[in-house]
């Protein structure tokens, strides 16, 4: 169950979260195997979550045998948050409620959210005052800063092949020496 702790909607214009365009646009997506590696989950989890509606790919869903799902940046972020909540022992039922709430947010809104849980309930905090109010109850909680997950994904997403829903070719990053060293280190 997600409890909103006095969410404050800003009335002013927000600047770009990643003004250097390190995030792909809304038509750029990643296939299942890349989404799994980026989010740190298994393909079996990804498939189950898509079939049960926990995290559906927003760019392209699978239609029959041989078709490929295409996950957006926001989908990858939600996958990573779901994985972290599962790792901390939150039930899939409570995660579903939290994910439904996260789906209503834009990527920039998600960057301001920190999720806290006591292992049972998931709370959303958008300001330091809300965090303090939540912690005054005296119970142990853990937090997931969604902006931290965003930075992790945006830092590694460029290492994976992407495609656009409209068929326009996505420029893949050049295979420079640093990229080769990172790939070698990651694969052993």
Return the closest-CA partner of residue 162 out of 26, 30, 22, 24. Answer: 30
Domain boundaries, the chain: 26-103+148-187
Q: What is the radius of gyration, based on Cα positions, of the chain?
A: 18
pLDDT under 70: residue ranges of the chain: 1-25, 106-108, 128-142, 145, 171-176, 178-180, 183, 186-188
What's residue 43's pLDDT? 94
What is residue 137's predicted lDDT score, i.e. its pLDDT? 57
pLDDT of residue 11: 32
| Domain boundaries 26-103+148-187, corresponding CATH code | 1.10.1660.10
Q: How much is the pLDDT for 23? A: 58
Q: Which DSSP string do the residues of 96-120 spell out, in sequence order?
A: HHHHHHHHTS-HHHHTT-EEEESSS
Vertex 47 angle, CA 45 and 51, to 5°? 115
User: What per-residue confidence (pLDDT) applies to 76?
Assistant: 92
């Amino acid at each position: 169950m997600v409890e909103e702790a006095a969410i404050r909607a800003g009335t002013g214009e927000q600047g770009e979260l990643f003004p250097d365009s390190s995030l792909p646009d809304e038509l750029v997506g990643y296939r299942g195997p890349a989404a799994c590696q980026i989010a740190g989950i298994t393909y079996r989890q990804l498939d189950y979550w898509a079939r049960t509606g926990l995290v559906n790919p927003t760019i392209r869903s699978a239609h029959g045998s041989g078709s490929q799902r295409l996950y957006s940046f926001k989908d990858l972020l939600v996958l990573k948050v779901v994985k972290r909540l599962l790792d901390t022992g939150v039930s899939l039922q409570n995660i579903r409620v939290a994910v439904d709430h996260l789906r209503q947010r834009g990527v920039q809104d998600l960057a301001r959210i920190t999720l806290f849980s006591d292992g049972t309930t998931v709370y959303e905090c958008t300001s330091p005052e809300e965090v303090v109010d939540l912690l005054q109850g005296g119970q142990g909680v853990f937090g997931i800063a969604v902006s931290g997950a965003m930075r992790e994904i945006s830092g590694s997403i460029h290492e994976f092949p992407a495609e656009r829903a409209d068929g326009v070719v996505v420029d893949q990053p050049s295979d420079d020496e640093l990229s080769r060293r990172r790939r070698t280190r990651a694969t052993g």
